[in-house]
Structures are given as C-alpha cells and as structure tokens.
Amino acid sequence: MSIRSATGSQASRRPVSVYHAVAPSSPSSGSYHSSRSGPELILPRTTYAEPYDYDLESYGSRSSDGGSGIREEHHSTGPHTSTCHQPHDGFEEIRSHMRRLEEDVAHTRQEWGDGEIDTHDMLSRIANYRRGLDMIATPDACRDPLLKLRFDGVDDTLKELEAEASVRKTREQEELETARKEAERRENEMREEWERRQYYLREKATEKERIRNEKEAKEAKKKKKAEEEKQKRIIKEQKRKDHNAKFEAAMKETKRLAKEEEKRKEEQRIQEKKKAYEKRSSREEAARKRDMQRKAADKQAKEADEEARYRKKVTEEEKRYLARKNHQTKAKAALGGREEESRKRERERAKAFAKKVVDDRDKKLERELKKLKDKEKLGYVDDD
C-alpha cells in the first residue's frame, strides 16, 4: 500500500482541521509499499508498551512509552481557522509518532534477536508497522530530509526483519515437513520389519516341518513309500491352502487395521509383551524341568555306579576271605589238627574280619547318603 493510496483513504476519515494540517500537496512524493496485505492485526506487548495505533486521527492526543498521557491542543476549532502554524505542528506529531515507531521496531528487533517472539507474531508486527509507516510517511512529511531518512531507515529495517522472518518461517516449515517425513519413514520401516519377521517365522516353521518330513520319508520302509508320497502331496496342498487362507486373512486384517491403526498398535504392544512374558516363562520352566531331570538322572547313575563298585569290592573281599579260610582249613588238615587256643584265635580273627567288613560297608553307606543329601540341598538352592 503506497503513501498516496493510504493518504487518500485516510483523508476522508480525518477531522477537517487535521486534514488541512497534513494533507498531501504533491502527488510526486515518495511512497512505501507494504509487503503483506491482509486483515489488520495489532498484537499487544506486555513487556514494553501497549500496541501503537498509527491512525492519523490520534494527532490530537498520544501516549508516551511510560503510560503518561500528553495532549497537544490544536488552537484551530474549525476548517476556517488560520493554519499558518499547522504544518510545523503536524511535523512534530509525525516526529513523535516516528519516534514511537522506531522505538517499537527496535524493541521488536531485540525481542526477535532474543527469540522471544515467533515467526507468525513477527510477520504480524511487521505488517502492523508498515501500515503505521504508510500512514505517517505522507508526501509532505517526505519533503523533510531528516524524516525521509528516518522513513527509509525504518523501511529498510522492516524489510530486513521481514526477510529474516520469511527465511525462518520457510526453514521451520521445511523442518516440520522433514520431521513428518522422517516419522512416516520410521513408522513404515517398523511395519516392514514386523512383516519381515512374521514372514521369516512362517518360513522357518515351514522349513522345519519340511526337513522333518523328509527325514521320516528316508527312514520309512519301501512298502510305505507310495503312501508317504501321497501324504506329502496332501501336506503340500494343505500348506498351499493354508498359505492362501493366511494371505487372504492378512489382506483383510490389513484393511481393517488401516481404519484402527492407533488402537491396533496399543493392542499389539500389549499382546507382544504378554506373549514374550509367556514364552520366557515357558522357556524358564522347561529349563528348570530339564535341569531337574538331568540332575535326577545323574544322581541315579552315580548311585548305581557307586553301588556296583561297592558290590564288586565286597564280592572281592568275600572271595579273598573265603580263599584265606579255605587255605587255612587245608593247612589245618595238612598239619593234622590244632590246639583249642589256636582254633579260638582263628575264630576271633574271622569274626573281627567279618565285623570290619560290615562296619566298613555301613560307614561307606552313611558317607554316600550324607553326600547325596548335601547335593540335593545344593541342587534345590541352585534351582531357586
């Protein structure tokens, strides 16, 4: 919006005395164009000053940055009053408004540099300041070189801020678009990974079943070969039907899940946690059972081994005892008889030897029983 158009549109709304004081006198004066055209939006500032209304109807009164009201009274009371001093008073009003505009722009630039305002607010303020500049920079005011220089400075600053805000807005939009695409890509990758995992599990199960069937077919007899081949064809056909049924069910499920994506994700997460917990629990339970079975088998094997060694030792001891006894009997027979004392000593030796064998056996059994009890206690501790 140029100064001429802004001035022409505002002239019909000014009071008569103000219009005579600041109305443009030459159509050749410079003009400023606003880079945004939209509904007027004046946003309040709570940290610096109240928003500035750059309407020329406020020439009769204005507010300072501290909030104190300063009124400049015009001595003209009508359109026929003398206007010899009105241009000077109008320039003073313009300088006052310009000073406020420069302060507002400088403060906004400081806030923009500190990151206290966002891009949308910045563009709205720039548009507001441009409207104010277009209303202040009248052709008469542009004849003043100092005011013209200040107008140009504010206009350049607004252009620079608008360019920075536009660049930042474009960058923010690009970052949002990039983040959206990245999130969509990650979601697609997760879905594809889950589908690949499911496909791999199905293929792995099929491969295991195929290997098992082939092994059974190799181990089967020749007379059952025809029946096994028939069974293979039936299994293969059933697999194909199952695969087709699973594929159709998967397609239907995919269409249904497309409408309930958020709900499906939550349910899937809960089910996966539950399945993982059940699977982990079943694995742990199976491992505990295997350990208990292995320990029981080891215990039985060890007991059997110990019992066999002990029986072998006892048998050997008995054989040696019987051999010694037979040898002594033969020696007695060869010598032709012994005295009663000699026979008594032999009986005592035999009894002592038999008692020693029995005591050794009892002690051995007690030691083995104690070891087994200790091992069982240690095994229970390990299982816990």
* Mean pLDDT of the chain, nearest integer: 72
Q: Take residue 383 and report the two structure tokens written for it.
A: 């299982």
Instruction: Report yes or no on 213 lying in a domain.
Output: yes
Q: What is the pLDDT of residue 339?
A: 63
The whole domain housing 227 covers: 187-273
Instruction: Report yes or no on 338 lying in a domain.
Output: yes
Q: Does 211 share its domain with 267?
A: yes
Q: Does 171 share its domain with 194?
A: no
pLDDT, tens digit, 9 for 90 and up, residues 122-143:
888 888 888 888 888 888 878 8
| Triad 221, 226, 230: Cα angle to 5° | 125
Q: At 125, which amino acid appears? A: R
Q: Does 247 share its domain with 333?
A: no
Q: Does 228 share its domain with 361?
A: no
Query: How would you write 95-148 as a 3-class SS string?
Result: HHHHHHHHHHHHHHHHHHHHCCCCHHHHHHHHHHHHHHHHHHCCHHHHCCHHHH
What is the distance between the alpha carbons of residues 260 and 255, in angstroms, rounded to a whole number?
A: 9
Q: What is the pLDDT of residue 7?
A: 37
The domain boundary, picked from 158, 177, 196, lies at 177
Spell 246-283 as b/e; 16+ CB within 10 A means b: eeeeeeeeeeebeeeeeeeeeeeeeeeeeeeeeeeeee
What is the distance between the alpha carbons of residues 138 and 6, in angstroms, rounded to a whole number?
A: 9
Q: Does 165 share its domain with 59?
A: yes
Q: Does 257 share its domain with 130?
A: no
Instruction: Report yes or no on 182 lying in a domain.
Output: no
What is the distance between the alpha carbons of residues 69 and 168, in angstroms, rounded to a whole number?
A: 38
Q: Does 30 share its domain with 138?
A: yes
Q: Does 301 share its domain with 373?
A: yes
Q: Does 159 share its domain with 18?
A: yes
Instruction: Report yes or no on 281 lying in a domain.
Output: no
The domain boundary, picked from 177, 202, 223, lies at 177
Give percent above pLDDT 70 in the chain. Answer: 73
pLDDT, tens digit, 9 for 90 and up, residues 56-93:
333 333 333 333 332 333 333 333 333 333 444 567 88
**H helix intervals, 260-339:** 261-335
Q: How many residues does the chain have?
A: 384
Q: Take residue 315 and report the two structure tokens written for it.
A: 């048998």
Domains in the chain, number: 3
Average pLDDT over residues 157-182: 89
Instruction: Report yes or no on 303 lying in a domain.
Output: yes
Local confidence band at 260 (pLDDT 50, 70, 90 cut-offs): confident
Instruction: Report yes or no on 359 lying in a domain.
Output: yes
Average pLDDT over residues 101-121: 86
Q: What is the pLDDT of residue 182?
A: 92
Q: Does 19 share its domain with 42?
A: yes
The domain boundary, picked from 177, 203, 233, lies at 177
pLDDT, tens digit, 9 for 90 and up, residues 356-369:
888 888 888 888 88
Average pLDDT over residues 41-60: 36
pLDDT, tens digit, 9 for 90 and up, residues 276-323:
888 888 888 888 888 888 888 888 888 888 888 888 888 888 888 888
Segment (H or E) for 155: helix 145-219
pTM of the model: 0.30
Q: Does 164 share its domain with 195?
A: no
Distance of CA 307 to the CA centre of its chain: 63
* 44 against 132, higher pLDDT: 132
Residue 331 pLDDT > 80:
no
Instruction: Report yes or no on 155 lying in a domain.
Output: yes
Q: What is the pLDDT of residue 329?
A: 76
pLDDT, tens digit, 9 for 90 and up, residues 312-324:
888 888 888 888 8
Neighbours of 86 (CB within 10 A): 18
Torsion over CA: 280, 286, 290, 292 (sign): positive
Q: Does 8 share its domain with 135?
A: yes
